[in-house]
Amino acid sequence: QVQLVESGGGLVQPGGSLRLSCVASGSTFSSYSMSWYRQALGKERELVAVITSDGTGTHYADSVKGRFTISRDNVKNTVYLQMNSLKPEDTAVYYCAGPGGPRAVYWGQGTQVTVSS
C-alpha cells in the first residue's frame, strides 16, 4: 500500500506564492506518474497537473498554466506543486494522487490553500 502525505498549504494574499509537497511511502514511487487535484467548496474535484514517472513530461489545467509548476524528486519520493501568482479562484483543498491522471488509486489527505486579501 502506498501512503501520500501533503503539506505546505495555508493562507496567502492574491499574487502570492506557495509550494506544496507530497511525500510518498514505498520503494516504487519512481514507477508512478503523479498528479495534483483540487476541490473547492461546492465544486467537483479538478485535475490541476500531472507529471510522468521520470519527470520529463507535464500537463496542466488551462486555469493554472504559466502560474503553477509540478516537479518531483524520486530520490526523496516527493512531488511538488509550486504555485505563483495565486488568485482567489485557486482556493481549494489540494490533493496529490497516483498514478497521475483521472484514474488515480492512491490519494493524500489534502492540504487547504486559501487565497484572500
- In tens, the pLDDT along 25-66 reads 976 788 899 999 999 999 999 999 999 999 999 999 999 999
pLDDT at 14: 98
What mean pLDDT, rounded, does the chain reach?
95
**DSSP, residue by residue, the chain:** ---EEEE--EEE-TT--EEEEEEE-SS-GGGS-EEEEEE-TTS--EEEEEE-TTSS-EEE-TTTTTTEEEEEETTTTEEEEEE-S--GGG-EEEEEEESSSTT--EE---EEEEE--
